[in-house]
Amino acid sequence: MINYIDQFPKKSILVAGDVMLDLYIRGEVERISPEAPVLVVLETSRQMALGGAANVANNIKSLGGKVSLLGVTGKDSEREMIKKACRSSKINFHLVTDPGRMTTTKTRALARHHHLLRIDRENKISLSPAVEKKVISEIKNLPNHDLVVISDYNKGFLTKNIVQALEKRFGKNKIIANFKPANSYLFKNILALTHNLKEAKEITNLTATDNKSAEKVVVALAKNFSSSIILTRGDQGMTIWDDNGVHHVPARAAKVMDVTGASDTVISVSALMLACKSSLLEAAKLANYAAGLVVGLEGTATISNDYLKKNILNEKENI
């Protein structure tokens, strides 16, 4: 796997999708409010992180790849925070402004390691024809990339015309996607797609509780979309389908601190591996391993190229 990871800095990935901002308010809890039976959090710090498709881009950059981010934001302070974070992480960004929407922001309150509350700020509206036209114009003018990741959270970015523009510009065989079931009609014959158990059940109406039933799910997905499949199964690992058949990859997480962003890590590593011309099985194995490291960290976390290699080299068995 190390030889693939060493190639990551040579690969260029485009991430297109729903761009978000994650805001963490940390503090101490010492009393109950006299106004209502709720905890009083004494704020000690705030942390900003890239979320959604922007977190996928951040993962790819942290892993050493070159990355560009395409998405839509509101005309607000949260947009400026995202731009600042992208500049800091050296992520090329193409963010179209939509004055009619607010930038999706997830604000979490935490006391020590306890997640107390999440407040979402968003309006899931479809893109106006004018904004969609601007996005398509950006796509036409983008430089070449080795692979495209579509990161969909069903917040309104994805449209039929945008998907078709990406396919025309880069080719279906260079697209890997994680999309919500509501947008499944937009995809066919792309390189690969990733889904978790909940998404897969909504699409296929099949439940995967063990390896045998997971095989039925990935075969059904492959038939529906004519694409290779990576099915993430939490503590049961992954099941994949490609031209070589079905394979199961056992979970490797030693501890679970926070599952936030684990799916973003999976698609990020998978994209870089496939850009390096690895097999889907090799891509899934490394993605599974990397996700196991990320869930051991708190918040919307990423891991570096060096951190990933260091952990692999310390392993006593092959991934």
Question: Which of 22, 258, 264, 306 is the catalytic position?
Answer: 264
Tokens of 314: 């310390």
- The CB-based long-range contact list for 167-172 (8 Å cut-off, 24+ gap) reads 169/139, 169/140, 169/142, 170/14, 170/144, 170/145
Strand order in the sheet with 238-242: 92-97, 66-73, 12-17, 147-151, 175-178, 192-196, 228-232, 238-242, 245-249
Residue type, 275: A
Q: Residue 24: left if φ>0, alpha if ψ -120 to 50, beta else—which one?
A: beta
Give the Cα separation of 281 and 302 in Å (integer): 22
Q: What is the DSSP string of 177-226?
A: EE--GGGGGG--S-SEEEEEHHHHHHHH----SSHHHHHHHHHHHHHHHS
Tokens of 84: 């600042």
Residue 210 designated active-site: no
**Catalytic residue positions, numbered:** 264
